[in-house]
Amino acid sequence: MMERAVERKVSRRMTMRLLINAISKYIFLLATLFGLVVLSVLIYRVFFEGFGWLNFDFLTGKLSTQPERAGIMGAILGTFWLMLVVAPVTMFLGVGTAIYLELYAKKGRLQGFIQTNISNLAGVPSIVYGILGLTVFARALNFGNIVLAGGLTMSLLILPIVIVASQEAIRAVPNPLSEASYGMGATKWQTIKSIILPSALPGILTGAILSLSRAIGETAPLVVIGIPALLIPFPGGIFDKFTVLPMQVYYWTLDSSLTAEYANLAAATIIVLLIALLLLNTTAIVIRNKFQQQH
């Protein structure tokens, strides 16, 4: 009789434990889906509010005080010019730093110091970069709020990401490749230039494109530098005043508490911004996949 009771007790506890396990599995699944549900609601809301406003006139029009006539060509051009500064500057500085750290620096205190410094920089809030840009580029060098000032600030902001990605790409190049090159009598720089860099290029490009897409969406540093919300002429070069897509979203979102239509304009601008990011990310994934097939 005793044994029976114990057996029943054990089997009841076992059922309980299995049940709790099964239930928590679904709770964990729901938690995982939560983020995805919010993502779909967000995208649905943005399209719901903005899609009707997205047309040719909106894409090519100038800013206007009347929501029905406002367009974002200025912001599109501003984003374009900003990228024209950010892309070459970060590629040059990022890849250069990565080559130095991976291939030239002696493993030691200095290299460790630079490496620690880079990972600390990656954790600095973007708005602090904005203050650096405001103080150094906009005020001390007297650039004001032109594309060049914004671009240099943005470049410093995404520099840590580009450096780390380039370092990983360089480290992934198989050693025999460079050894063969040295064996043929090539110098170190020749080996880097014609063997290591071409082989690491897909990895470097993937990192660079992903960090560029970060720069396209980043708003805080530009707000701090003081990009105006006023009607400005289209920027025609890196020395012009400018605005970018996220800044336009920012001002229109603030204005939406006054005039409801501005929320539609902000949403339509977000659609353009998200499509641009999607294109960039797809490019990065395509490059990465091609690269993975190679090795």
Partner 1 sequence: MPIKNELTKREIGIRELIEQKQHSRNFKESFEKAIPFFLFLIASVSILTTIGIVYTLLSETIEFFKRVPIADFFTGTTLKPLSQTPEFGVLPLIIGTVTSSLIAMAVAAPIGLMSAIYLSEYASEKVRKTVKPLLEILAGIPTIVYGFFAFTFVTPLLREFIPGLEATNILSPGIVMGVMIIPMIASLSEDAMSSVPNAMREGALALGSTRLEVTKKVVIPAALSGIIASFVLGISRAIGETMIVTIASGSTKNFTFDITQSMQTMTAYIVEVTGGDAPAGSTIYYSLYAVAMTLFVFTLLMNLLARSISRKYREAY
* Helix (H), strand (E) counts: the chain: 12, 0
* Window 111 to 170, contacts with partner 1 (CB under 8 A): 113-114, 117-121, 123-132, 134-136, 139, 156, 159-160, 163
Q: Residue 195, interface with partner 1 (CB under 8 A)?
A: no
For the bound state, the minimum distance from the C-beta of residue 1 to partner 1, rounded and expressed in Å, comes to: 25
User: Do 71 and 58 contact (CB within 8 A), yes or no?
Assistant: yes
Stretch that binds partner 1, among 67-75, 200-208, 233-241, 272-280 (CB under 8 A): 272-280
Stretch that binds partner 1, among 55-63, 74-82, 200-208, 256-264 (CB under 8 A): 256-264
Longest dimension (CA), the chain: 93
Listed residue (127, 121, 129, 106) closest to 163, CA to CA? 121
Candidate residues 96, 112, 236, 237; the one interacting with partner 1 per rule CB under 8 A: 96
For 119, other C-beta atoms within 10 Å of its C-beta total 11
Q: Residue 24, interface with partner 1 (CB under 8 A)?
A: yes
Q: Residue 20, interface with partner 1 (CB under 8 A)?
A: yes
For 254, other C-beta atoms within 10 Å of its C-beta total 12
Stretch that binds partner 1, among 59-67, 89-97, 171-179, 231-239 (CB under 8 A): 89-97
For the bound state, the minimum distance from the C-beta of residue 108 to partner 1, rounded and expressed in Å, comes to: 13
Site residue total, partner 1 (CB under 8 A): 84
For the bound state, the minimum distance from the C-beta of residue 236 to partner 1, rounded and expressed in Å, comes to: 25
Cα dihedral 258, 259, 264, 266 sign:
negative
- From residue 236, alpha-carbon distances to 75, 82, 143, 244, 273 in Å are 12, 11, 16, 13, 20
* Window 28 to 87, contacts with partner 1 (CB under 8 A): 28-29, 31-32, 34-36, 38-39, 41-42, 45-46, 49
CA separation for the pair 295, 283 (Å, rounded): 19
3-state secondary structure of 241: strand
Cα dihedral 277, 283, 286, 288 sign:
negative
Helices (H), 188-238: 188-191, 197-217, 220-225
For the bound state, the minimum distance from the C-beta of residue 235 to partner 1, rounded and expressed in Å, comes to: 20
For the bound state, the minimum distance from the C-beta of residue 178 to partner 1, rounded and expressed in Å, comes to: 15
For the bound state, the minimum distance from the C-beta of residue 143 to partner 1, rounded and expressed in Å, comes to: 15
For the bound state, the minimum distance from the C-beta of residue 99 to partner 1, rounded and expressed in Å, comes to: 6
3-state secondary structure of 146: strand
Q: Among residues 190 and 237, whose Cβ is nearest to partner 1?
A: 190
Q: Residue 246, interface with partner 1 (CB under 8 A)?
A: yes
* Window 200 to 239, contacts with partner 1 (CB under 8 A): 213-214, 216-220, 223-226
Two tokens at 75?
Answer: 């912001």
For the bound state, the minimum distance from the C-beta of residue 88 to partner 1, rounded and expressed in Å, comes to: 13
Q: Residue 256, interface with partner 1 (CB under 8 A)?
A: yes
- From residue 129, alpha-carbon distances to 94, 114, 213, 256 in Å are 17, 18, 17, 28
* Window 167 to 186, contacts with partner 1 (CB under 8 A): none
